[in-house]
Amino acid sequence: MSQATAAAPPPTGRPAAPPVQAASAPATGRGPGVPGASVPADVLAGRGIPTGLRQRRIVAALAVAVFTILTAAQLVLGANAARQAAADAAQVIRIQDIKVDLLRADALATNAFLVGGLEPPEQRAAYDEAIATATGTIAAAAQAQSADQQALAELSGLVVRYASDMEVARANNRQGLPVGAAYLRQASSELRGRGMTLVDALLDANTTRADNSLANQHPLWVLVPGILAIAVLVWVNQWIARRFRRRFNIGLVLAAGAVLAATVAAVTVSGMQAAENSSLSNGSYRDLVQAAQARSQANAAKSSESLRLIARGSGKAFETAWSTQAQAVSAYLPVEATDAWNAYTAAHAEVVAKDDAGDWDGAVALATSQTEGSSPAFAAYDKQVAGVVESTASTVRSTLDAGAWTPVLVAIGTVLAGIAAAWLAWRGVSRRLEEYA
CB 236 within 8 A of CB 56: yes
Q: Is residue 264 predicted with pLDDT exceeding 90? A: yes
Task: Quote the CA–CA distance of 314 and 100 in Å, as a whole number.
Answer: 27
**C-beta separation of 97 from 294 below 8 A:** no
pLDDT tens column, 353-368: 999 998 998 999 999 8
Measured distance CA(426)–CA(310) in Å, rounded: 84
Provide the whole-model pTM.
0.73
Distance of CA 128 to the CA centre of its chain: 36
Mean pLDDT of 209-220: 83
- List alpha helices for 215-333, DSSP H: 219-244, 250-281, 284-310, 316-332
User: Considering only CA atoms, which of 71, 140, 137, 133 is closest in space to residue 105?
Assistant: 133
Which of 111-120, 136-145, 402-411 has the highest mean predicted lDDT (pLDDT)?
Answer: 136-145
- What is the average pLDDT across 171-181? 84
Q: How large is the angle between the packed helices 250-281 and 284-310, nearest 10 degrees?
A: 20
Kindly give, in sequence order, each residue whose CB lies less than 8 Å from that of residue 28, ignoring residues fewer than 6 positions away.
Answer: 38, 39, 40, 41, 44
Give domain limits for the chain. Answer: 50-436
Long-range contacts of 384-388 (CB under 8 A, 24+ apart): 384/336, 384/337, 384/340, 385/291, 385/294, 385/295, 385/298, 385/334, 385/336, 385/337, 385/340, 386/295, 387/336, 388/287, 388/291, 388/334, 388/336, 388/337
d(CA 240, CA 247): 8
Comparing 277 with 200, which gets the higher pLDDT? 200
Distance (Å, whole) CA 11 – CA 16: 10
Predicted pLDDT at 5: 41
Alpha carbons 148 and 156: distance in angstroms, whole number: 12
Percent of the chain, pLDDT > 70? 88
Residue 29 has pLDDT above 90, yes or no: no
More confident residue, 140 or 174: 140
Report the chain's C-alpha Rg in angstroms: 43
For residues 355 and 435, give the distance between their C-alpha atoms in angstroms, rounded to a whole number.
102
Q: How far apart are CA 303 and CA 247, in angstroms?
A: 81
Mean pLDDT computed over every residue of the chain = 84
Distance from C-alpha of 258 to C-alpha of 260, rounded to nearest angstrom: 5
Average pLDDT over residues 58-68: 94
Tens-place pLDDT, residues 74-98: 998 888 888 888 888 889 889 989 9
Beta carbons within 8 Å of 105's beta carbon, 6+ residues apart? 127, 130, 131, 134
More confident residue, 365 or 432: 365
